[in-house]
Amino acid sequence: MKQTRWGLIGAGWIATKTIAPAIHASAETIVQAVASRDLKRAQLLNPITIHETYDELIHNPLVDAVYISLPNHLHCEWTIKALKAGKHVLCEKPFALNLAEVELMVKTARECDLLLVEAVWSRWHPRMIRMIDYVKSGNIGELISIDSSFTFPASIEGNYRLSPEMGGGALFDIGVYPLHAIGAIVGDSARAVIQSCDVNFGETGIDLTTKWSISCNDLIIANGLASFEMPEDQTLIVRGEGQSVEMLSNQAFTSWHSPSTLRLGDHKEEFSAVDPYMLMIENFGRRINGEESWVLPLENSLWVQKVGDQLRTYSENLKGKL
């Protein structure tokens, strides 16, 4: 078995608490290198090599793939630089700040013939995969509605999530989880029309709460809620003409190292504790090593970014009227 040698750009919370531990725990992967402005945090990730600059890391010949966990406004720039340096890229969500950036990233990946994936780790969870497959197989009949939410009272003082220029706000940070679930269920060719979008803006101009309703193909109503100021809540319920399916236990998008439950009509299915970050990392590595494995399609990410842009335009117009 060929091990995938990872280079991590950024050594913040995601890299420290989830990505590096997942890579170290897998027999298929190695933390080959880390590049961070903070030497101490880079050392905590226990890499073979520490680079002082991101550019040094992407040109390290021993690095097979790069994980980018920088602030949102830097995703596009360093994804493109890494791809042009010959590295496969797994980039933290949200992919970028707008559809134009994502299209440029996708175009570059295809021109370089390299793998590019958005790291929406919840999509690798067996429970999420089961729900999506169950619905798309027609088990609940014609789709009627999707209700989703991801809210929690966030402590983001001094954080880039408070900066509009850096891609801050609840929609970008956590709203992508419900949007990706919606996109996976309705399909990346679905026509989405914004029916409503209510936003509570913070003092810095970012959205603290965004609540939306989208019509998909004029048939399905997809409702979503993302908030940095509401009590913790994660839900995902899909209703059809025949029955409904629902994520239980209030961890629709963040079930990690804990058992989880899925309601399918009148019965429940239980899922053992897993590490979806590890599943994501391993599947990415298998794909670049020529093995069969599932990774999040770029078409899904393009659909989500397109809808995200529509929601943001709607909310910006709303803000202008306040």
- Residues assigned a catalytic role: 93
Task: Tell me which residue has tokens 């999040």.
Answer: 296
Positive or negative, the CA dihedral 271, 223, 117, 33 is negative
**Residues facing 159 on adjacent strands:** none
> From CA 261, how far away is CA 240, in angstroms rounded?
20
- Write the DSSP symbol of residue 57: H
Token duo for residue 272: 């053992």
Apex 306 CA angle, 305 and 308, nearest 5: 60
Question: What is the chain's length?
Answer: 322
**94 upstream amide cis, omega within 30 of 0:** yes
> From CA 273, how far away is CA 266, in angstroms rounded?
23
- Write the DSSP symbol of residue 315: H
* Of 224, 125, 142, 242, nearest in space to 183 by CA: 224
User: What's CA 203's distance to the chain center, in Å?
Assistant: 26
The count of other CB atoms within 10 Å of the CB of residue 153 is 10
Output the DSSP codes for 232-265.
Answer: PEEEEEEEESS-EEEE-TT-TTT--SS-EEEEET
